[in-house]
Structure 1
């Protein structure tokens, strides 16, 4: 996407952002429904302060609710491995997560509207 984004004009970028901002997110089914309650508990304690109680994000933090479970797992792993943007609050947060935490958080977040 970064190569494509570089060739877009400012107006095209704004129009794309407006289009996506108007789409309604839909919750998904988790591959691990038995972990949703644990994920909700973890989310409330570790993530809600930045991403919002409903996981809908804000002007500075991305929406997590309804994201694909595999995407969430991969993103948290990438933060742990330093493969995502440096100097972000997510790196120390992700560093503390065990694999079971990542699975539970992802299960919960994917089911949220």
Structure 2
């Protein structure tokens, strides 16, 4: 019950924050410089394996995830210390800054493998990935941007959803990747990471 209450509050906060107060992306940039850029990149494009890029992510998505970290619901040890005690306003401003950055692939993105890309594309269509994440995989509201995301991060996240190890606000993902093999998830991750 506690988790459901916190998740509901996070979604409401993310949905109503713009109406209540305009987020301050410039202030968010200052806050992120001390908390976020060492891992997620100064331009929001992660240069570290398995660390997601945040540039161009929907502000609502980042806000919800940070609240889940802060409240100890989503357990990512590296994030817990950074999120602990962060006020909503700071989270919203950081989210606004990352959302304002132009998205793009990490500098170390591997070259496209045509066969793997085609295999991933064949999986994405029937799984309706473009419905929630939009046809270009740019994300919206609390749905993350998948296009140009780090490939190994996407593969790990989808495995966690498939295996019931990832806590979040969208149980739809558990069903979306249910039954996919590791090889299929790798192909899907490659396809999504190659989309710009």
Same fold (TM over 0.5): yes
Q: How does 1:73-88 map to 2 (within 5 A)?
A: 73-85=155-167, 88=171
Deviation at 1:21, TM superposition (A): 0.3
Moved more, 63-72 or 44-53: 44-53
- Deviations along 1:42-78, one digit per CA (max 9) or x if unpaired, are 2122111211110111113111111111101111111
Which secondary structure does the structure 1 equivalent of 2:177 belong to? helix
Q: Normalising by structure 2, what TM-score?
A: 0.52
Alignment counterpart, residue 145 of structure 2, candidates 63, 67, 77: 63
Distance 1:4 1:24, change over 3 A: same
Over aligned residues, Cα RMSD in angstroms? 1.9
Q: How far apart are the structure 2 equivalents of 1:85 and 1:105?
A: 21
The answer on whether the counterparts of 1:79 and 1:94 sit within 8 Å (CA) in structure 2 is: yes
Q: How far apart are the structure 2 equivalents of 1:93 and 1:10?
A: 31
Q: How far apart are the structure 1 equivalents of 2:148 and 2:112?
A: 14
Q: How far apart are the structure 2 equivalents of 1:85 and 1:10?
A: 20
Aligned to 2:86: 8
Unaligned runs of 5+ in 1: none
Unaligned runs of 5+ in 2: 1-78
Number of residues of Structure 1 aligned to a counterpart in Structure 2: 113
Moved more, 63-72 or 77-86: 77-86
Q: How does 1:23-62 map to 2 (within 5 A)?
A: 23-27=101-105, 29-30=109-110, 33=113, 34-46=115-127, 47-62=129-144
Alignment counterpart, residue 175 of structure 2, candidates 63, 67, 92: 92
The answer on whether the counterparts of 2:133 and 2:139 sit within 8 Å (CA) in structure 1 is: yes
Moved more, 41-50 or 64-73: 41-50
